Amino acid sequence: MRDVYTAILRAYSGIFFNPSVRFGGILLLLTFLNPNMGIAGLVSVLSAYAFARVVGFRERFLRLDYYIYNPLLVGLALGYLFRIGPLSFPFFILAGVLTFLLTYSLSNFSWYYLRLPVLSLPFVIAVLLLYLASLRFTNLFVLSLYPKPVPTLPFQLPLPVEGFFRSLGAIVFSPYVISGAVIFVSLLAVSRILALLAVLGYTVGVVTQALLVGSLYQAVGDLSAFNYILIAMAVGGVFLIPSPRSYAFALLSVALSVPIVEGVKTFWEAYGLPAFALPFNLTVLLLLYVLLVAGYGYVTLWYRGTPERTLDGYLTYTRRFPYTGREIALPFAGEWTVWQAFDGEWTHRGPWRYAYDFVIADPEGRTFRGDGSRLTDYYAFGKPVLSPVDGVVVEVADGLEDNPPGQADRENNYGNYVLLWDYRGFYVLVAHLKKGSVRVKAGDRVLRGSLLGQCGNSGYSPQPHIHIHVQASPKVGSPTLPFKFVSYVSSGRFLDVGLPEVSERVEPVYPSKALLNRFNLLIDQRMLFKVREKGREYDLACTVKMDSYGYFYLTDGKTRLYFGINNSTFYFYNLTGDASSPLRYFLLAVPKLPLIDRPGLSWGDALPFLSLPPLLRSFYLLLSSFKHDLLSVRTSLHLTPEGKVKGKAALPGGPIEVEASVAPDLFYDLVRFGDVVLERKELGWEGLR
């Protein structure tokens, strides 16, 4: 029964692009300002839900609320027009089922062929068909023939404000000032970004319309302005990552929609039909299709329920995982020094700018012992060169002589080399290898860390070093591509991904098998923690689960904390569900843990704004939507000689001490975030006690 309740209320709130059950409840009550309409909407949405359950839909409805908010909108539209009666009641039921069928079919077609959301297009199609059909249904009683009470405020508002509220209410077929005012206040509580976009969208749309038609009074009195509100919210905060660009696209889309609104009204009204939300659907879908085809980088890939949560997830992910898709390991073991980086001083220029050279240097910065007159004087000469990727050997060269120190082969730029094909879709060249040292051949499959050969001084190389770059073509010497290195230590600090600078000493790291085993959490493993928070104690039972996409998470039944191991690091990725769950303290205290047993190792990470109090979080996210790098929450951690993780989270109110203790068997024994402590009590398997 709770699932039904949640799904129905989310259908109401889904009209305004959020899953809030409370907001949905408020909208449900508002529709009953016109009891006829409220009943019709509820009947249609319940009919769609019941039909879907009969044919086998379950959990999907709780995630994809558009399947039933389209039937809801159709029910509200019919209830606004027709009076409840013996014939209209089953008509509303049939309308709900028909709209569900349209929604399901159109959504699958739209996503499969165009990668576009279906929005409320099924509602528009269904309600137009039903309105036209009703012209022949003479036994249906038209509600407009009967008096309808219109709720009013005891005072007069400025005309533009009144027009805004009436347009906002018209989205749920309740075009009253009081309805719009309640919706706006509720929307403001759910999302400040959506509320701001609603105001901006209405303002730009009405002003544009007034300029074109020559009458502000006519523009603010036009209820079809609700299209401007929906367009601004959808483009600026839902389908694009909130930013100055998304806001600009939103307002541009609103201005573009004005002639669409007027054109649709002119055509539709000739048949006695309202325009409904067709201009909203056309404008948003046209813009989204062009942006997707153009490869626009700020299209929302995962909408998290509100623009604020989406923005928080986007900012956190890009700060924590600044990946390009071309991350490779350092091609050696031990500590080496960057001799030349991107846009290097000598050879890394123009189309070949994205490349790195590495040498071995002593504490004084010298790369050789003695006078450096012999190749064997150089620390790097003859050292193992390892594969930086998992892939296939494409081509090798192994017969060129090594140059004497201070000389270079101008004819054979890369000397002896190994060219690898990475399974992710690019090539990696490792060059200047020692003659006769290459241990692989074309066609061999290699893993990251496999021996390729030895460092030499072949090709255009005045001293022994390793050259590495990434390219798109299998032809040696092709233009290079940007890339980054993963899992390395520099000056005692661990970086899971980065680009070291010239003269920086770096060392690749590999995970400890013991730590890998401790954090290899298996499905249905159950852990019980005692939580001490704000003077009270309670238990947190969490279980390891896997979702339908193959991602692992910890759950307390309501909230999911996703985790995983990538390269040499254990990560808590993100939290979904109830943001107040104590599971959040794992993410806030130790968002990542290098699986390396090296006391003194330090590292940093970025925290989501989830770590802030709700009001401050909302304020920060609203500001961050205008400038993404304006604010951030950082954490700094280190590994103590006792094997504990300690550090600080830099929050606006001051730093908070954090601590974690790795268990000798599995996961953590203890996690502390400020005054909140989670201490493990029990470990087992779900269903086994």
| Whole-structure pTM value | 0.86
Q: Region 660-676: what's the mean pLDDT?
A: 92
Predicted confidence (pLDDT) at residue 138 exceeds the cutoff of 70: no
| Percentage of the residues of the chain whose pLDDT score is greater than 70 | 94
Q: Region 296-320: what's the mean pLDDT?
A: 91
Which band of pLDDT confidence, cut at 50, 70 and 90, is reported for residue 197? very high
Do 357 and 466 form a contact (C-beta atoms < 8 A)?
yes
Predicted confidence (pLDDT) at residue 175 exceeds the cutoff of 50: yes
Which band of pLDDT confidence, cut at 50, 70 and 90, is reported for residue 265? confident
What is the rounded CA–CA span in Å between residue 233 and residue 388? 45
Predicted confidence (pLDDT) at residue 361 exceeds the cutoff of 90: yes
- Amino acid occupying residue 129: L
Q: Which fold has domain 173-303?
A: Ammonium transporter fold (1.10.3430)
Predicted confidence (pLDDT) at residue 684 exceeds the cutoff of 80: no
Residue pLDDT, tens place only, 16-68: 999 899 999 999 999 998 888 999 999 999 999 888 888 877 655 545 566 77
pLDDT at residue 2, rounded to an integer: 65
pLDDT at residue 199, rounded to an integer: 97
pLDDT at residue 688, rounded to an integer: 45
Q: Which two tokens stand for residue 442?
A: 């074309």
Q: Region 129-141: what's the mean pLDDT?
A: 73
Of 346, 334, 284, residue with least CA distance to 116? 284
Helices (H), 171-277: 177-190, 192-213, 216-220, 226-233, 244-269
Cα distances (angstroms) measured from residue 617 to each of 312, 373, 506, 613, 655: 9, 62, 37, 6, 16
Q: Which two tokens stand for residue 88?
A: 């209209």
Strands 384-386 and 525-533: unpaired
Predicted confidence (pLDDT) at residue 603 exceeds the cutoff of 80: yes
Question: 3-class SS at 558?
Answer: coil
> Which helix H or strand E contains 98, and what residues bound it?
helix 88-114
The residue whose two tokens read 């036009």 is 222
Which band of pLDDT confidence, cut at 50, 70 and 90, is reported for residue 424? very high
pLDDT at residue 152, rounded to an integer: 67
Q: Examine domains 1-149 and 173-303 and report if their fold is the same.
A: yes
Which band of pLDDT confidence, cut at 50, 70 and 90, is reported for residue 284? very high
DSSP 286: H
The tally of CA atoms less than 13 A away on the side-chain side of residue 427 is 19
Predicted confidence (pLDDT) at residue 686 exceeds the cutoff of 80: no
How deeply is 208 buried, as exposed, middle or buried, from its count of CB atoms within 10 A (0-12, 13-18, 19+)?
buried
pLDDT at residue 84, rounded to an integer: 80
Of 660, 653, 652, 664, residue with least CA distance to 676? 660
Q: Region 260-284: what's the mean pLDDT?
A: 85
Residue pLDDT, tens place only, 79-96: 888 778 777 888 899 999
Do 268 and 227 form a contact (C-beta atoms < 8 A)?
no
Which band of pLDDT confidence, cut at 50, 70 and 90, is reported for residue 638? very high
| Percentage of the residues of the chain whose pLDDT score is greater than 90 | 67
Answer with the residue of higher pLDDT: 151 or 655. 655
Residue pLDDT, tens place only, 507-525: 999 899 999 999 999 999 9
* Listed range (53-67, 172-186, 550-564) with the worst mean pLDDT: 53-67
- How many helical (H) and strand (E) elements, i.e. helices and strands, does the chain have? 18, 26
Strand partners, 592: 571
pLDDT at residue 30, rounded to an integer: 94
Domain spanning 1-149: CATH superfamily: Ammonium transporter AmtB like domains (1.10.3430.10)
Predicted confidence (pLDDT) at residue 142 exceeds the cutoff of 60: no
Report the top-level CATH class of 328-482: mainly beta
Do 466 and 329 form a contact (C-beta atoms < 8 A)?
no
What is the rounded CA–CA span in Å between residue 190 and residue 184? 10
CB count in 10 Å sphere of residue 436: 13
* Listed range (97-111, 268-282, 599-613, 669-683) with the worst mean pLDDT: 268-282
CB count in 10 Å sphere of residue 158: 9
Which band of pLDDT confidence, cut at 50, 70 and 90, is reported for residue 643? confident
Question: Cα angle vertex 69, ends 66, 74, to 5°?
Answer: 130
Strand partners, 569: 566, 594
DSSP 224: G
Q: What is the mean pLDDT of the chain?
A: 90
Cα distances (angstroms) measured from residue 301 to each of 116, 239, 491, 559: 11, 8, 37, 21
Q: Region 538-565: what's the mean pLDDT?
A: 92
Residue-range domain boundaries for the chain: 1-149, 173-303, 328-482, 513-685
Answer with the residue of higher pLDDT: 334 or 67. 334
Residue pLDDT, tens place only, 231-254: 999 999 999 999 999 999 999 999
What is the rounded CA–CA span in Å between residue 589 and residue 636? 10
Q: Region 616-637: what's the mean pLDDT?
A: 92
